[in-house]
């Protein structure tokens, strides 16, 4: 499989528009638009020309009063996007008009957000380790749960029947959904777990940890299949490609690692100039969006993100 993708011949392109650093990048379900969320309090939606060099049109989503820390697209609708901000609000936007269609204020600074795969619910995590589940249609909270441990990135499994939380204790807490009853505590790492990704084929989930490892878990057995060991710093962000054959991971190391999921071997490293905050593969093509703490020569934020995987720069 890995021989069929000539990673070493592929190039990155840079996208500029934000005034401060980009915290989060995410593709829509058709892989045609990319959203970026920034410390500059805006999100932007970019119509990515996958094959040509057309001028990239971007539309600004304005309204948040603090950093846009994470964003995610409706898995069933290519133009609806949800944003989580430090201003305590969660907002739903129409990417065609750039207008905010719904918003709700929660109790704390929101840092994580994810959709249930069927598009019905959104889960939001805040700095106070509180989880809120919103019904998307009414955009009102239907569950609230405060945890007495550090909760980091959150995810549903592909069927939406399991909800997974990464914790500062090095565990993944597995809850049944919608009851949110605990099913299992997975002792995943010796240090805090920061990020989680679900294999699009539904076989695995992967966890990135402060111990610099990425672990791969069989989701039906809850057993660790292998670990990826290329990074040397705490793993901030991970993503599976659309076939589930490759996993990208990034940290404060000055490269993004791409490894083969089935062998555990690193197949490519994308050099970067700063610590990375977000990596995400396109859901249809082998294009990887990534964003970090890039600064210019005057040591101010560049506000850029890049996409790797083009045949020409």
Q: Is a pLDDT exceeding 50 seen at residue 2?
A: no
Q: Would you say residue 10 lies in a domain?
A: no
Is there a cis peptide before residue 178, judged by omega within 30 degrees of 0? yes
Least confident of 10-24, 81-95, 252-266, 292-306: 292-306
pLDDT tens per residue across span 246-256: 999 999 999 99
Beta pairing class for 237-240 and 43-47: unpaired
Q: Is a pLDDT exceeding 70 seen at residue 12?
A: yes
- pLDDT at res. 183: 97
Q: Would you say residue 68 lies in a domain?
A: yes
CA distance 26 to 72: 6
pLDDT tens per residue across span 37-90: 999 999 999 999 877 666 677 899 999 999 999 999 999 999 999 999 999 999
CA distance 283 to 242: 5
Residue 281 buriedness (CB in 10 A; 0-12 / 13-18 / 19+): buried
Q: What's the rounded mean pLDDT across residues 6-18?
A: 93
Q: What's the rounded mean pLDDT across residues 140-160?
A: 97
- pLDDT at res. 138: 95
Q: Is this prediction's pTM over 0.85?
A: yes
Q: Name the E strands within 6-88.
A: 11-16, 22-27, 33-38, 43-47, 58-61, 68-73, 80-85
Confidence of residue 1 (pLDDT cuts 50, 70, 90): very low
| CA contacts within 13 A on the Cβ side of 120 | 8
| CA contacts within 13 A on the Cβ side of 149 | 13
Look up tokens 């569950």; give the residue: 143
Q: Would you say residue 49 lies in a domain?
A: yes
Count CB atoms within 10 A of the CB of residue 179: 10
Q: Would you say residue 9 lies in a domain?
A: no
- What strands lie across the sheet with 121-126, from one edge to the other? 110-115, 121-126, 130-135, 140-146
Q: Would you say residue 1 lies in a domain?
A: no
Residue 230 belongs to what domain range? 15-309
Query: Mean pLDDT in the chain?
Result: 95
CATH number of the domain within which 259 lies? 2.130.10.10
Domain count, the chain: 1
- pLDDT at res. 297: 79
Q: Would you say residue 242 lies in a domain?
A: yes
Please give the share of the chain, as a percent, with pLDDT higher than 90: 90
Confidence of residue 207 (pLDDT cuts 50, 70, 90): very high
Q: What's the rounded mean pLDDT across residues 124-153?
A: 97
CA distance 258 to 253: 13
Q: What's the rounded mean pLDDT across residues 166-187?
A: 97
Q: Would you say residue 4 lies in a domain?
A: no
- pLDDT at res. 298: 74
Computed from CA positions of residues 221, 222, 223, 224, in that sequence, does the dihedral angle turn out positive or negative? positive
Q: Is a pLDDT exceeding 60 seen at residue 113?
A: yes
Residue of higher predicted confidence among 300 and 127? 127
- pLDDT at res. 54: 62
Q: Would you say residue 3 lies in a domain?
A: no
């Amino acid at each position: 499989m890995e021989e069929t993708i000539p990673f070493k011949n592929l190039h990155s392109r840079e996208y500029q528009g934000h005034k401060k650093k980009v915290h989060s990048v995410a593709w829509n379900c058709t892989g045609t638009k990319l959203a970026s969320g920034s410390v500059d309090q805006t999100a932007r939606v970019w119509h990515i020309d996958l094959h040509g060099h057309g001028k990239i049109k971007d539309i600004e989503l304005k309204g948040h009063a603090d950093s846009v820390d994470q964003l995610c697209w409706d898995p069933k609708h290519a133009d609806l996007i949800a944003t989580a901000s430090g201003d305590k609000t969660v907002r739903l936007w129409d990417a065609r008009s750039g207008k905010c269609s719904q918003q709700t204020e929660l109790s704390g600074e929101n840092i994580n957000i994810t959709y249930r795969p069927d598009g019905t619910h959104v889960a939001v995590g805040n700095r106070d380790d509180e989880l809120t589940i919103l019904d998307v249609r009414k955009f009102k909270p239907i569950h609230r749960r405060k945890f007495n441990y550090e909760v980091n990135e959150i995810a549903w499994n592909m069927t939406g029947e399991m909800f997974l939380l990464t914790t500062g204790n090095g565990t993944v807490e597995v809850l049944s959904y919608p009851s949110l009853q605990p099913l299992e505590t997975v002792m995943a790492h010796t240090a805090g777990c920061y990020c989680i990704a679900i294999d699009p084929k539904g076989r695995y989930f992967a966890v990135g940890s402060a111990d610099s490892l990425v672990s791969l878990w069989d989701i039906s057995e809850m057993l660790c299949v292998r670990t990826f060991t290329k990074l040397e710093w705490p793993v901030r962000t991970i993503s599976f490609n659309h076939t589930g054959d490759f996993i990208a991971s990034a940290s404060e190391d000055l490269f993004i690692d791409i490894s083969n999921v089935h062998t555990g071997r690193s197949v490519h490293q994308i050099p970067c100039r700063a610590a990375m905050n977000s990596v995400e593969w396109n859901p249809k093509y082998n294009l990887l969006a990534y964003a970090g703490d890039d600064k210019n020569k005057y040591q101010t934020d560049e506000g850029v993100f890049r996409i790797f995987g083009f045949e020409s720069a």
